[in-house]
């Protein structure tokens, strides 16, 4: 059972909902990233969603867009974010970490290389926002082979059919 699944099972037994904060790695600066991860856990986070800065985060609103811009000005890349997860794992082996990003950096690294690096760093899953479920078979299979969970987004208007597809 993955750390993500184990966390949801535990929370269900406790009758609690998950607190899953998001932040863009490298904002406000790279040195803050790992201490922020630990602070979020100390503040009650059950799972961390670490944003990989991207130059064109069109699926995000203006706050996250500006956050990505600030992180990119610091030179933060996907490889840096994977390094932050590695550093975090030196002192926290329990809290699940999901990498949240866009397809371009992942595909530039190579899907298999990304999955291997993310797993080696101690990440638990990935949410690649511009991979819709119906186009994500290779992503899902590659992440699954590396022992990583694939996370998809749902909205209040998501159809029942799509909900079943994402939950499968």
Q: Average the pLDDT over 70-78 and give the result.
A: 98
Locus of tokens 């299979």: 141
Integer Cα distance of 129 and 28 in angstroms: 22
- Give the pLDDT band of residue 146 (cuts 50, 70, 90): very high
Number of domains in the chain: 1
pLDDT of residue 164: 84
Give catalytic status of residue 87 as yes or no: no
Summary mean pLDDT of the chain: 96
Give me the helix-helix angle, 78-89 and 111-121, nearest 10°. Answer: 20
CATH number at residue 73: 3.20.20.70
Q: Average the pLDDT over 37-46 and give the result.
A: 99
Query: Which one is catalytic: 27, 46, 60, 124?
Result: 60
Query: Which one is catalytic: 49, 92, 134, 144?
Result: 49
> Which among 108, 120, 109, 107 has a CA at the least distance from the CA of 146?
120
> Which among 84, 7, 9 has a CA at the least distance from the CA of 46?
7
Q: Average the pLDDT over 59-76 and give the result.
A: 94
* Residue 93: domain span: 3-167
Give me the helix-helix angle, 78-89 and 33-42, nearest 10°. Answer: 50
> In 59-101, which ranges are continuous DSSP H helix?
62-73, 78-89
């Amino acid at each position: 059972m993955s750390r993500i699944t184990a966390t949801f099972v535990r929370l269900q037994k406790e009758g609690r909902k998950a607190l899953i904060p998001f932040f863009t790695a490298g904002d406000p600066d790279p040195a803050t990233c790992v201490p922020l991860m630990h602070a979020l856990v100390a503040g009650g986070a059950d799972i961390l969603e670490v944003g990989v800065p991207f130059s064109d985060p069109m699926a995000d609103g203006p706050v996250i867009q500006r956050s990505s811009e600030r992180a990119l000005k610091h030179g933060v890349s996907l490889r840096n974010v994977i390094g932050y997860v590695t550093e975090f794992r030196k002192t926290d082996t329990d809290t699940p970490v999901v990498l949240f990003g866009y397809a371009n950096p992942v595909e530039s690294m190579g899907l298999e290389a990304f999955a291997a690096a993310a797993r080696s760093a101690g990440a638990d899953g990935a949410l690649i926002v511009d991979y819709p479920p119906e186009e994500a078979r290779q992503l899902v299979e590659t992440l699954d082979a590396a022992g990583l969970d694939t996370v998809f987004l749902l909205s209040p208007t998501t159809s029942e059919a799509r909900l079943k597809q994402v939950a499968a």
